[in-house]
């Protein structure tokens, strides 16, 4: 293969990929529904109000939202967390920590095709609470646990 043919093939492949990806606009369509404002809140109350539209103290707790995390963790930079929703029609699961500079850690979109369970590792700024907020067709439900962090975390 000659150099000219190689360059021509590479350019054509790049253009073909660009066209198939929606002219580069595909990612902006996906991120249009991204709740960017939630990830820039500075208090747990503002974060919960941004998620649910109501104050934190009015958030309904549920024993059908399972939050699995150790009560004492040695390293706040990697805290393993598992959240399972036994509620029907779970739409989103949001993970928060009241001691982090930005309380909203992660938000997961659920579909009916998957079990509403997430397992992840989060970073905590110190000892405090981890809160899981689950959105369903019937409203918002939560579970929380107090965690003692012995070292590490975020500043």
Averaged pLDDT score across all residues of the chain: 84
User: In angstroms, rounded to a whole number, what is the distance separating the alpha carbons of residues 52 and 49?
Assistant: 5
Domain range summary for the chain, segments of one domain joined by +: 1-33, 35-151
Among 133, 47, 55, 64, residue whose Cα is nearest residue 94: 133
What fold characterizes domain 35-151? Immunoglobulin-like (2.60.40)
Query: In which element (H, E) is residue 6 found?
Result: helix 3-20
Residue 37 CA from chain centroid, whole number: 13
The answer to whether the CB of 38 falls within 8 A of the CB of 51 is yes
The answer to whether the CB of 81 falls within 8 A of the CB of 69 is yes
pTM of this structure: 0.75
Site of tokens 């699961």? 93
Q: What is the pLDDT of residues 99-110, one digit of tens each?
A: 888 999 999 999
pLDDT of residue 34: 59
């Amino acid at each position: 293969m000659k150099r000219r043919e190689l360059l021509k093939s590479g350019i054509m492949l790049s253009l073909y990929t660009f066209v198939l990806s929606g002219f580069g606009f595909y990612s902006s369509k996906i991120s249009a529904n991204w709740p960017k404002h939630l990830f820039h809140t500075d208090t747990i109350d503002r974060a919960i109000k941004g998620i649910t539209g109501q104050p934190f103290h009015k958030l309904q707790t549920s024993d059908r939202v399972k939050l699995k995390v150790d009560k004492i963790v040695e390293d706040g930079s990697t805290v393993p967390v598992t959240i399972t929703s036994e509620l029907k029609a779970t739409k989103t699961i949001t993970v928060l920590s009241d001691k982090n500079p930005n309380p909203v850690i992660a938000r997961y979109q659920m579909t009916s095709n998957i079990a509403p369970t997430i397992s992840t590792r989060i970073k905590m700024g110190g000892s405090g609470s981890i809160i899981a907020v689950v959105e369903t067709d019937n409203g918002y439900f939560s579970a929380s646990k107090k965690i003692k962090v012995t070292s590490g975390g975020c500043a």
